[in-house]
Structure 1
Amino acid sequence: MSVTFTPGHGITIAHVVTCGCPGATELAPRYGAWTDADDDAGRASAATQRTPLPGCEMPDICPQYPLHAEEIDADGPVPDVNIHNGTARLLLPLLGLPAADGTDDAYGDLPAGDFVGRVLMALALAPQGAGPRAERSGSTFVDHVPGHLRMRLDDLLHMAQWCVTHGRRVTWS
């Protein structure tokens, strides 16, 4: 499980069929309707064997996974930050946000400027080497390097500043 922080929804100008690689998404033909892109993604994924899409950054791996339809935002590539639940349990309280019960129900949204302020405060209060050395999350053992929390806070700051620039709220779920 994880918590993903992303800008609030913007204006969709097109849809594409992509493997998810930024280069493939950029070069993909544009569709006017989501259903057209989604139908073509399903057909391509059902093929017995497919070749990598133009611009694919992992041509040895991507053809083994299904393609999907994706929206193209009027503001260009939209950043997001996906954080493992174990790290989210530590970050959400640093941001003054409720962590719910094990972050399973962690969701919400804030104005971007408010979120930037929360991240800056967390960065100011977090020690330079802050971060768990290791943790167990269910049956998964996660080993974080020192400074992992600060790195994730930096990622959140970058995404939140993008939201400020583009007039978007910050959402998470």
Structure 2
Amino acid sequence: MSTRKPDTKRKALVAPIPSESAFEKAVIAAGLTVATGKTAVDNRYRGQIEGKSANTRFTGSLDMDLAFKLVEARSNRWDFGLGVLPPGKKEFAVWVEPHSASSLGEVKIVLAKLDWLQAKLKQPAFAQLKALTDACREQGHQPFRWMATAHVGIRPGSREANMLAARGMSPPSARVVI
């Protein structure tokens, strides 16, 4: 049995409990399941989404397609939402849709998915996610991104590129840099 007295001068090194991010709170308020970092994004696409700065933090992610697959099986559903916290700036949400861009007809499908997502963001339960999406625009970013999963057949200045631009989207690209 030890007769040594406990060292009362030393403080326990306990890591602080991280608080929920605004994105996590918004996803929970919408009644959906949030994942840490980019883990809700399918593994084959995760590496193609990156922050412009090495200090950009992904605060959470959401698989919208999976969340609504059973209840809206026939809908054109958007795939992923991400919480993003750039260094020294306010957190915002970005929405990424991995989809083929090999033919011009894919533009209509992606725009239908965008319509679906924007309708969700207008619902009261999604108000916090909409506010984070608006914060993305306020910081000069496009909140809706099309990640090309195949060769891009949409040329800059084409009718299809103009259709995307009219809806606030850039043409699809193989990487999403936020």
- Give the TM-score normalised by structure 1: 0.25
The structure carrying a bigger helix percent of its residues is 1
Q: Normalization by structure 2: what TM-score?
A: 0.25
**Radius of gyration: which is bigger?**
2
